[in-house]
Structure 1
Amino acid sequence: METFDQNNLKSLVKKFLVEQNCLKTYDHCISVGDYAYELGKNYLDEPDKARTAGYLHDISAIYPDDQRVDVAKKMGIDLYKEELELPMIIHQKISKEIALNEFNVTDQAILSAIECHTTLKEDYSDLDLVVFIADKIKWDQQGEPPYIEGLMVALDHSLEASAYYYIDYLLTHDIQVIHPWLNEAYVKLRKQLASV
């Protein structure tokens, strides 16, 4: 099992982001990582993996939206047309590549959670769900997320209910593009929750 010294990782993430004038992103990443760890203690055998994924999930903030298509292509990342339309959502895939190549994260479960933290995906794990939900609870905007109350009520039921609530909220509130992974996760979650 791959383990990281969390304090060392925190300082490496800080150095990486602060050098690129992304202090606000650093604060968000640490907040998501720490919350993912606490949430993960209820659902995961190795909650440290959730913290690692959280600390690194937005590491790609060093690239502004208008550079992300080119950066992704240089990294050999396959892109959906929806990502070309809304380059912001490419950041999850770029963060995965940076975690792998700059931070030497090779644990596939951690890399998966980083790669789908914005959209989730059809073949999600509990770790993917924990990081996805932590990112929505500790969002990077001002104030409280507008969906937070319903999401927390759903979280009392299960990770799946919480993820489903959030995606359902997005789909009924003027979403710019519907990423294929998001749609696939939504369909799978709906089926899973219907069978409970």
Structure 2
Amino acid sequence: MHPIFQALTEQIEFSNDLKSNICLFLHANECPKTAKHCMDVGKESRRVALLFDANPDDAEMAGWLHDISAVFPNNKRIEVSRQLGIEILPEEEALPMIIHQKISKVMARDIFQITNIEILNAVGCHTTLRAGATVLDQVLFVADKIAWDQEGEPPYLEELNHGLEISLTHGALSYINYLWERRESLKVIHPWLKEAYEELKLL
């Protein structure tokens, strides 16, 4: 395990229960709100997966894991990414919040011993999606937007749910459209999001 993770885990006795281990890890590192959000997204991911014939167990696990990098504050994430050998895009340097998806992917693999590449890849693009997204990528992407971590109801929720009535891809695209229509007000447009938009709008 990378030394940067050892300080986060050395006082924790993990069991064979992944869900409990993630909650324990996040609470031990003073992220109780993130623990609740991850559990909520896991539950929503399972629901969405069952609607679209995706693997519900994989979807739920991806939901539990997606934001575990919240233990690193925004102002530390670029340095953490460098130490972990993660490729840092200019947009991520400008808005470090976005790179948390890549850090969570590494943490899921190294701390929680996840070897399923579909789960890892879904965790690694859950904020931005990506071109060539798998069904599981889209399930987690959509579930995270439905079970968001802010107060009240998401402003895009009605449109997203309407998209899901057509297909999973339409649901994902509806959220990306919501961002795209507001792109002038966004600090950055992540290239993965742009690539996903260019691909999905043709479907």
Interval of TM-score (by shorter of Structure 1 and Structure 2): over 0.9
| Cα deviation digits, residues 32-72 of structure 1 (max 9, x gap) | 01110111012234211000000000000000000000000
Moved over 4 A (4+): none
The residue that corresponds to 2:202 in the other structure is: 191
Q: Distance in 2 between matches of 1:103 and 1:76?
A: 19
**1:177 partnered with 2:188:** yes
Shifted more, 45-54 versus 110-119: the winner is 45-54
Does the 8 Å contact 1:44/1:127 carry over to 2?
no
Pairing of 1:1-196 with structure 2 (within 5 A): 8-173=17-182, 174-192=185-203
* 3-state DSSP of counterpart to 2:17: helix
* 3-state DSSP of counterpart to 1:156: helix
Instruction: Specify the code of the residue in structure 2 equivalent to 1:100.
Output: R
* 3-state DSSP of counterpart to 2:139: helix
| Cα deviation digits, residues 66-97 of structure 1 (max 9, x gap) | 00000001000001100000000000000000
Instruction: Specify the code of the residue in structure 2 equivalent to 1:188.
Output: E
Number of corresponding residues: 186
Does the 8 Å contact 2:173/2:201 carry over to 1?
yes
Deviation at 1:176, TM superposition (A): 1.7
Shifted more, 166-175 versus 49-58: the winner is 166-175
Deviation at 1:175, TM superposition (A): 2.0
Q: Distance in 1 between matches of 2:49 and 2:134?
A: 12
TM-score w.r.t. length of structure 1: 0.93
Shifted more, 43-52 versus 148-157: the winner is 43-52
Unpaired stretches in structure 1, ≥5 consecutive residues: 1-6
* 3-state DSSP of counterpart to 1:67: helix
TM-score w.r.t. length of structure 2: 0.90
* 3-state DSSP of counterpart to 1:25: helix
Unpaired stretches in structure 2, ≥5 consecutive residues: 1-15
Does the 8 Å contact 2:131/2:196 carry over to 1?
yes
* 3-state DSSP of counterpart to 1:35: helix
| Cα deviation digits, residues 160-191 of structure 1 (max 9, x gap) | 11111101101222222100000000011011
| Cα deviation digits, residues 111-170 of structure 1 (max 9, x gap) | 010000000000200000000000000000010001111111111001111111101101
CA 154–45 in structure 1, closer or farther in 2 if over 3 Å, else same:
closer
| Cα deviation digits, residues 12-41 of structure 1 (max 9, x gap) | 001100011100000000000111011101
C-alpha RMSD of the superposition: 1.0
Give % identity.
48
